Amino acid sequence: YTWRFALEEIQGSVQDAYAQEFKRRVEERSQGRVEVQVYPYGALGTSAQLTELVQNQAIQFAFASPGHLGAVIPEVQVFSLHFIFSDNNAVNKSVLANSQAINQLLAQAYAEKNLELLSIVPEGWMVWTGDRALNTPEAFKDFKIRTMTSPLLVEAYRAYGANPTPMPYSEVYSGLQLKQIDGQVNPIFAIEEMSFYEVQSHMTFARQAQFVTSLVANKTFFDGLPEDLQKIVKQVRTELVDHIYDVQHDFNQSRLQKIKENSDIKMVELTEAEREAFRKASLDVRQTYVEQAGQRGQEVLNTLLAEIKAAETKAAA
């Protein structure tokens, strides 16, 4: 078998680290029956196009970030809501790996689009970059922020008074350089490897959201696999939960150092009071999410919030 696995990120990224380890383990355990070919971002198309390629079975595996996939599966936009996750990232990791909201409700929504949801993978806190500090919702007034292409993200930033502009990842650097946009939002490792920090003056840390992606396979392909190969894939994706969590943690830390060494970009850390102002301003967007994602979306949101709360209580005990 040859399995094609497409990334929404370039070589050296968190998704690349995942795919390389996936390839290594799957090839080893299948004892030569499977070869995994990894296609970094740029080789095959935008995130939206990669999802289509998986749906058509032109490729077998891809990452599909909710920030883009929400245009196809509205329920998945729950991850685009702000101030949903715990401040304790270990809590988030365990919720994402064990969640009923994800494993049942969301997996069903994926299945209806002929996608097998294999894993939800956190890649670190989303950080705002811009031509200004963004420590109050007022600072967002008329700020042209690039977002991923899920419709809810536009609403998430309109709630702060911003002027959101959805576009593919590949266009962000030139958009910033040509000042078609004033800023963007991504985890630190991405801000470094895509060189966004070179054309921005401020990074603002609000811990408003985690960057989360999903690993998907074509469902017809996956259901048709011999049982032992299916089992290998499921084993590997379970093993990689801890591995990739450590990788993203390392990448985000080490690349923050790199950004500091290579630029004089200003770092703005929000106070709890400043975060609270954003949290309040973000709450109405949950209603918009339910309008877009319907009954099942409501259920996903309620279940996920309850799961995060329960995991926080457990962690505090």
Per CB under 6 A, residues contacting ligand 6CS are 8-9, 47, 65, 67-68, 123, 148, 169, 186-187, 190, 211
Our CB check for ligand 6CS shows the closer of 146 and 202 to be 146
What size, in residues, is the chain? Answer: 317
Our CB check for ligand 6CS shows the closer of 191 and 233 to be 191
Q: Is 301 helix (H, G, I), strand (E, B) or coil?
A: helix
Please identify the residue of the shown chain whose CB is closest to the bound ligand 6CS: 169
Question: Cβ 33 to ligand 6CS, closest distance in Å?
Answer: 30
Compute the distance between CA of residue 45 and CA of residue 42 in angstroms, rounded to an integer: 6
The two tokens of residue 96 are: 């994402």
Question: Cβ 209 to ligand 6CS, closest distance in Å?
Answer: 12
Compute the distance between CA of residue 71 and CA of residue 50 in angstroms, rounded to an integer: 13
Question: Cβ 164 to ligand 6CS, closest distance in Å?
Answer: 13
The two tokens of residue 110 are: 């994926």
Our CB check for ligand 6CS shows the closer of 12 and 226 to be 12
Asked whether 160 and 96 are in contact (CB, 8 A), the reply is no
Asked whether 144 and 157 are in contact (CB, 8 A), the reply is no
Question: Cβ 190 to ligand 6CS, closest distance in Å?
Answer: 4
The two tokens of residue 284 are: 């109405």
Our CB check for ligand 6CS shows the closer of 67 and 105 to be 67
Our CB check for ligand 6CS shows the closer of 54 and 148 to be 148
Question: Cβ 137 to ligand 6CS, closest distance in Å?
Answer: 22
Question: Cβ 150 to ligand 6CS, closest distance in Å?
Answer: 10
Question: Cβ 298 to ligand 6CS, closest distance in Å?
Answer: 26
Our CB check for ligand 6CS shows the closer of 66 and 74 to be 66
- Number of helices (H) and strands (E) in the chain: give both, helices first: 13, 11
Asked whether 255 and 193 are in contact (CB, 8 A), the reply is yes
Asked whether 256 and 124 are in contact (CB, 8 A), the reply is no
Residues 6+ apart with CB under 8 A from 106: 73, 75, 76, 78, 117, 120, 300
The two tokens of residue 154 are: 């536009």
Our CB check for ligand 6CS shows the closer of 232 and 251 to be 251
